Structure 1
Amino acid sequence: MDWNRIFLHELDGLFFLEIVFRTAFMFIVVLVVLRLSGKRGVRQLSVFELAIILTLGSAAGDAMFYKDVPLLATVLVCFIAIGIYRLITWVMAKSGYLEQLLEGRPVYIIEDSVMVIKHDQKDSLSKDEFFAELREKGVEHLGQVRTAILETEGNLSIFFYPNQDVKYGLPILPHLYNKYSDTIVDPGLYACIVCGTLNQLAPGRYRCEHCGHHEWVSAINTPRTP
């Protein structure tokens, strides 16, 4: 292999210094443009805003190391992009339909301790990631959760039952959840592992009336830890 071509190609000392300047310059430009957007963090970005960030990243990245990309043209691209962003956000404030089209709307995932996500939305959500986020917020089972809403920017809003009102629910701690089975051996209260629907079951095999799934795990009702 030609290591000189792989690592250096036609890079000389002067262009190396130019790359340092281009990178620092475009980094500052992107910071300024993002500051003008009014957003404080990536966690708050919607899909529409993420598209703006990717546009800025592509423009800035090219200008950092391509000799034939003028910096002023790239700055113009960045400010045009942020101008379009501010224009669309203004129009969205006037039009609820456009806002919903571009940013979506909040999705109820849990109501009364049962998952209510619709079939056409299931593919866009990872159950493992959803359970992991619940665990990060101190949730042991769905019986502790009154309502959970997936916000448009990707945050999860959770409303809990008071400890005295905690219900039985689907355990989401791995060592309990992974004890699920499609055959009930001992009678008791069980939760569907897909939607969390509760059923008092005798020994045998059953299908969930809510989602049609056929695997169950023992429900628990431990209170939340303060």
Structure 2
Amino acid sequence: MESKESLDLFNLNRLLIGEDIPYTFLAEVLLRTTVMFFLVLVVLRLSGKRGIKQLSVFELAIIISLGSAAGDPMFYEDVALLPAILVFVIVISLYKLITFLTGRFEKVEKFVEGKPVKLVENGKILYKSFRKESLAYDELFSQLRQQSVSHLGQVECAYLETSGDLSVFYYPDDKVIPGLPILPDIYDLPVKEFEKGEVYSCKHCGDSKLDIQSFRPCEICGENEWLVASRKIRLT
């Protein structure tokens, strides 16, 4: 009895193909997958080259919708092809309609695509704007480091684009100002003592102060962690 119950628990046929589904359905899966695969290719081709680059929230919603519509009919016996194809037609029609409206109406564009947000200005993090975005310090600093930035004083301004990319504009070498170091081995070690004549940067917003004599909350963000500001020029 025990061995029979074990076989029922690990029914090989159910595990491989499912209950009451003949193995001939695998040939149908081949046809379904081929149809939906080429349909996805055609739809992405019609959506334009932008669809294969960095995606906005709107485009990501389109891809998720198409992915769901394409995936289920490939291997679910009770999901037919025609309803899935209809979903494709509706989704791509909505894509074309919304794209048309965003090109004609600025409010629609802002609602669908959002707008770029300035995160860094004059070597400092715009703390209130930064807090509104779902972005961590590590993510911001990582994107800056990938563009050869070692401290915020090298950055005149930086914008978070609707695609999630960071557009950075730099100070010329002769105008670089003291700024918050963003290299991990420096950033993770805030100062414990202050020295006269040194410039210090707030670890959380990058605001820089000269001759801090004792620990005190930052006037901009209210935090109380400081690093020695860096003056290095940007090396590319």
Q: TM-score, normalised by structure 2?
A: 0.88
For residues 24-39 of structure 1, the aligned pairs below 5 Å read 24-39=34-49
- Does the CA-based 8 Å contact 1:63-1:71 persist in structure 2? yes
Read off the aligned partner of 1:44 and give its amino acid letter.
Q
Unmatched 5+ stretches in structure 2: 1-8
From 191, 207, 216, give the equivalent of 2:217. Answer: 207
Residue 193 of structure 2 corresponds to 184
- Per-residue CA deviation, residues 164-223 of structure 1 (Å, 9 max, x unaligned), is 221111011000111114x43333211101110001133311111111111001110111
- Does the CA-based 8 Å contact 2:118-2:129 persist in structure 1? no
SS state of the match for residue 13, structure 1?
Answer: coil
The two structures, once aligned, show a CA RMSD in angstroms of 1.9
1:217 aligns with 2:227: yes
Structure 1 residues 115 and 37, CA gap change in structure 2 (3 angstroms): same
State the distance in 2 between where 1:51 and 1:73 align: 19
State the distance in 2 between where 1:121 and 1:102 align: 21
Residue 6 of structure 1 corresponds to 15
Residue 129 of structure 1 corresponds to 139
State the distance in 1 between where 2:117 and 2:173 align: 25
- Does the CA-based 8 Å contact 1:39-1:45 persist in structure 2? no
Deviation at 1:143, TM superposition (A): 0.8
For residues 39-54 of structure 1, the aligned pairs below 5 Å read 39-41=49-51, 43-54=53-64
Deviation at 1:123, TM superposition (A): 5.0
- Does the CA-based 8 Å contact 2:119-2:157 persist in structure 1? yes
For residues 158-173 of structure 1, the aligned pairs below 5 Å read 158-173=168-183
Read off the aligned partner of 2:98 and give its amino acid letter.
I
Residue 115 of structure 2 corresponds to 105
State the distance in 1 between where 2:49 and 2:158 align: 24
Could you tell me the percent identity over the aligned residues? 46
Matched pairs, number: 225
